[in-house]
Structure 1
Amino acid sequence: MEPQNSKPTVASSSFWQAQQENLVMLGVALALALVIRLFVAEPRYIPSASMVPTLAIDDRLVVEKVSYHFHDPKPGDIVVFQPPSQLQRQGYSKDQAFIKRVIATPGDVVAVHDGQVFVNDQPQAEPYILDPPRYDWGPYVVPGQAVLVFGDNRNDSNDSHVWGFLPQKNIIGRAWIRFWPRDRWGLVS
């Protein structure tokens, strides 16, 4: 009777080597996913009707985070942001994201009256809103490093006309692509 060999076989050695490679690949994939989510893009969903008709409750979006490193938000952009301090004092968590449309940028004078938004005394064409606003607001000057944001559902939106201007530093990114529901898939504009 011959003694059993205590050395691992070639098959078991290559099995463990393959498992180590798989773990390394999994670690790299997770690190890339984390970096992409933190710095490039992330998925979000719409929890309220404040952006109807443009975005519906439960729409799923990709929010891109790169472009505002190269340029400031501009009117018409739909932005996702952390609640400013005014909303945090009302009980909203810093982690709770909001989504609204940029209406005006630093230095613009904004007013709402007679169902119309005026920026620098010019009435704004807003074919994307659900209904004209039923409130009067302003005129106010948008301060530096801030933007004015309104929901497209003007009369049912907790936005700048309620809590003030949005500091640009609170902006997470720009709504880019709706990926759910499938029948509404496409660029968000």
Structure 2
Amino acid sequence: MRSQEQKQEPQGETKPKDPAPTAKGGKFRENLVILAVALSLSLLIRIFVAEPRYIPSDSMFPTLEMGDRLVVEKVLYRFSPPKFGDIIVFTPPGQLRVQGYTKDQAFIKRIMGEPGQLVEIRGGKVYLDNDPIAEEYIAEPPEYDWGPNLVPDQQYFVMGDNRNDSNDSHIWGFLPQQNIIGRAAWRFWPWKRLGPI
């Protein structure tokens, strides 16, 4: 009788079971799926919703400075067209591609003329439909004359806020709407100038 009792294991205590080999493989697969979904969402957001951009020049000074980092939102223009005053990011049009710029070299400028509007630059002022525009945001008045020219359909006239140091529409012409990537919406670097644009 005693020998049988000694052989019995105490009730309520069980030996820990070794994890099944498939459990480890299942966890790895689960993590892999989570990573794939996260990367896919990140890519979709960058393509369709918003993306970060870096300012490589002073062409938009003083509004934007070299080294600023921005969020470019891509949703608004799916529902309404770009408008006067918007700061946009775009791929170089054909005129700039001929000069050696590549498709992935994005530009950033301010829309100064919409389709159907008459744009002229003279005497240090920009005129839109023969009315001078008040521009508190520019570095200095333009030192050149241009136009008057009518902005064609589905195109825009864009300028840098640093009027005399900007490779913009007064040099290479109108920007096709199809080249617009999105609108500069938010500056996230440097911290001291964090905020909407």
Amino acid of the residue matched to residue 102 of structure 2? Answer: S
Amino acid of the residue matched to residue 85 of structure 2? Answer: G
Q: Matched residues in 2 for 1:40 and 1:104: separation?
A: 25
Structure 1: gaps of 5 or more residues: 1-7
Aligned pair 1:71/2:83, yes or no?
no
* CA drift at 1:10: 1.9
**Percent identity at matched positions?**
61
Aligned pair 1:137/2:143, yes or no?
no
1:3 aligned residue: none
2:126 aligned residue: 117
Normalising by structure 2, we get a TM-score of 0.90
Would you identify which runs of 4 or more consecutive aligned residues in structure 1 move more than 4 Å?
none
* SS of structure 1 residue aligned to 2:115: coil
- Larger CA Rg, structure 1 vs 2: 2
Q: Matched residues in 2 for 1:25 and 1:11: separation?
A: 22
Describe the superposition over 1:131-158 as per-residue Cα deviations: whole angstroms up to 9, x where unpaired.
0000011000000000100000000000
* SS of structure 1 residue aligned to 2:156: strand
Q: 1:102 aligns with which of 111, 122, 134?
A: 111
Aligned pair 1:56/2:93, yes or no?
no
Q: 2:165 aligns with which of 152, 156, 172?
A: 156
* CA drift at 1:15: 2.5
16-25 vs 73-82, which deviates more? 16-25
* SS of structure 1 residue aligned to 2:184: strand
2:184 aligned residue: 175
Normalising by structure 1, we get a TM-score of 0.93
17-26 vs 158-167, which deviates more? 17-26
* SS of structure 2 residue aligned to 1:111: strand
* SS of structure 1 residue aligned to 2:51: strand
Amino acid of the residue matched to residue 75 of structure 1? Answer: F
Amino acid of the residue matched to residue 46 of structure 1? Answer: I
Structure 2: gaps of 5 or more residues: 1-16
* CA drift at 1:14: 2.5
Describe the superposition over 1:76-120 as per-residue Cα deviations: whole angstroms up to 9, x where unpaired.
100000000000000000111000000010110010011000000
* SS of structure 2 residue aligned to 1:149: strand
Amino acid of the residue matched to residue 119 of structure 1? Answer: L
Q: 2:26 aligns with which of 17, 38, 51?
A: 17
- How many equivalent pairs are there? 181
Q: Matched residues in 2 for 1:9 and 1:25: separation?
A: 26
Q: How large is the RMSD of aligned CA atoms in angstroms?
A: 1.1
